[in-house]
Amino acid sequence: MIVVMDRNYTSNDVERVVSYIKEKNLEVTISKGKDSCIIGILGNTSTLDLQELYRIKSVKDIKKIKEPFKKSNRLFHPEDTIININGNKIGGGNLGIIAGPCAVENEEQIVEIAKKVKLSGANFLRGGAFKPRTSPYSFQGLELDGLKLMQIAKQETGLSIVSELMSISYLDEFIELVDVIQIGARNMQNYDLLKQVGKTGKPIILKRGLSSTIEEWLLSAEHIMAGGNENVILCERGIRTFETYTRNTLDLSAIPVVKKYSHLPVIVDPSHGTGSSEYVESMSMAATVAGCDGLMIEVHNNPAQALSDGQQSVTPEQFDEIMKKINLLQQVKCNFR
């Protein structure tokens, strides 16, 4: 439930609302904008007496929230969330460009790719150290050594590091070694993991589950935010459908839908979304004008030899071409509202 104050509200009015709500043992969030103040009420609101609330000065409107997610709901937080990672902003029109190989393979590989994607305009380096693989017999990643190689690449290029965390056992190492923790699609509803990263202050990229609705995705963000960590970046990466010419079906309409319902940044991964490097350029361009806040693109210096997901990785040269087009498009990208 949210309480909308009218434009002449005073902090005294807000305080009266807040104390009334707290009396009922409910949690409160306050968002002050230029001419308005929105007070969110979390928890079981059935014990509230709306008439009493309406009697408080400056209370203009009280709205039930249909959506079950709250902290991630734009109603509670009308302004776009902008996440600043070492000076690189994601959200509110600021595009974060995350590029790198599916899996870190060795120092030479990760450093070379890092240098090249930086030159083309990336501000984040992605790389898998712990790989969630459908088969236990596939390459599972270099694990902690992979993270250390990414650190070297960071020192050489200044790029911030993004890598996927699969187990709470390695949380401390991730807090130390990466700048953004990625939660993969398969773990989108691993609530134990979400809860643990929710206790940290690290920015989290939360990938959409293969067959998760947007509502479930925002509720998973809520699991993280409920722990106090509001630095959540949503990442659309394709959903499972019956179509077989693409690995997944990239749901670009998720961009305007998320923008409508949530204030969180939403980025797009066209590499997993389509599963094929030849569709990455058109989908990156489409995502940009559709209003996303960033792109996550798999880049490999030698896709044919990649230890995983080679067919969906673009070369540094192709990535450079894509970035040139993205830069042109940013001037005409879709504005919401």
Binding to a copy of itself, residues 129-188 (CB under 8 A): 132-137, 166-169, 186-187
Out of 50, 119, 152, 328, name the contact with a copy of itself by CB under 8 A: 328
- Find the binding residues for a copy of itself in span 2-41 (CB under 8 A): none
Look up residue 257 and give its amino acid.
Answer: V
Q: Among residues 10 and 330, whose Cβ is nearest to a copy of itself?
A: 330
Question: Is residue 201 part of the contact set for a copy of itself (CB under 8 A)?
Answer: no
Look up residue 12 and give its amino acid.
Answer: N
Q: Among residues 242 and 304, whose Cβ is nearest to a copy of itself?
A: 242
Smallest separation (angstroms) from a copy of itself to the CB of 135 = 5
Return the structure tokens found at 15: 């305080």
Q: Among residues 96 and 273, whose Cβ is nearest to a copy of itself?
A: 273
Look up residue 134 and give its amino acid.
Answer: T
Return the structure tokens found at 82: 């902008």
Q: Which residues of 123-140 are buried (b: 16+ CB within 10 A; e: fewer)?
A: bbbbbbbbbeeeeeeeeb
- Find the binding residues for a copy of itself in span 83-122 (CB under 8 A): none
Q: Among residues 255 and 296, whose Cβ is nearest to a copy of itself?
A: 255
Residue 129 to residue 174: CA distance in whole angstroms? 11
Question: Is residue 274 part of the contact set for a copy of itself (CB under 8 A)?
Answer: yes
Smallest separation (angstroms) from a copy of itself to the CB of 181 = 15
Question: Is residue 287 part of the contact set for a copy of itself (CB under 8 A)?
Answer: yes
Q: Among residues 14 and 254, whose Cβ is nearest to a copy of itself?
A: 254
Residues that bind a copy of itself (rule: CB under 8 A) add up to a total of 71
Q: Among residues 157 and 198, whose Cβ is nearest to a copy of itself?
A: 198
Question: Is residue 65 part of the contact set for a copy of itself (CB under 8 A)?
Answer: no
Out of 20, 69, 76, 319, name the contact with a copy of itself by CB under 8 A: 69
Question: Is residue 214 part of the contact set for a copy of itself (CB under 8 A)?
Answer: yes
Smallest separation (angstroms) from a copy of itself to the CB of 207 = 12
DSSP states of 222-279: HHHHTTT---EEEEE--B--S--SSSSB--TTHHHHHHHHB-S-EEE-HHHHHS-GGG
Question: Is residue 305 part of the contact set for a copy of itself (CB under 8 A)?
Answer: no
Strands (E), the chain: 2-5, 27-32, 37-42, 59-63, 83-85, 88-90, 96-100, 124-126, 160-164, 180-183, 204-207, 232-236, 266-268, 294-298
Smallest separation (angstroms) from a copy of itself to the CB of 99 = 19
Residue 211 to residue 224: CA distance in whole angstroms? 20
Question: Is residue 246 part of the contact set for a copy of itself (CB under 8 A)?
Answer: yes
| Helix or strand run (H / E) with residue 189 | none
Candidates 13-21, 85-93, 105-113, 244-252: pick the segment binding a copy of itself (CB under 8 A): 244-252
Question: Is residue 253 part of the contact set for a copy of itself (CB under 8 A)?
Answer: yes
Out of 211, 305, 311, 317, name the contact with a copy of itself by CB under 8 A: 211
Count CB atoms within 10 A of the CB of residue 317. Answer: 12
Q: Quick check: 230 and 44 in contact, CB under 8 A?
A: no
The CB-side HSE value for 28 (13 A sphere, CA atoms) comes to 18
CA nearest to 265, candidates 289, 223, 233? 233
Return the structure tokens found at 212: 């998760």
Question: Is residue 200 part of the contact set for a copy of itself (CB under 8 A)?
Answer: no
Token pair 């994601």 in the structure block, residue: 90
- Find the binding residues for a copy of itself in span 217-236 (CB under 8 A): 219, 222-223, 226
- Find the binding residues for a copy of itself in span 38-57 (CB under 8 A): 42-43
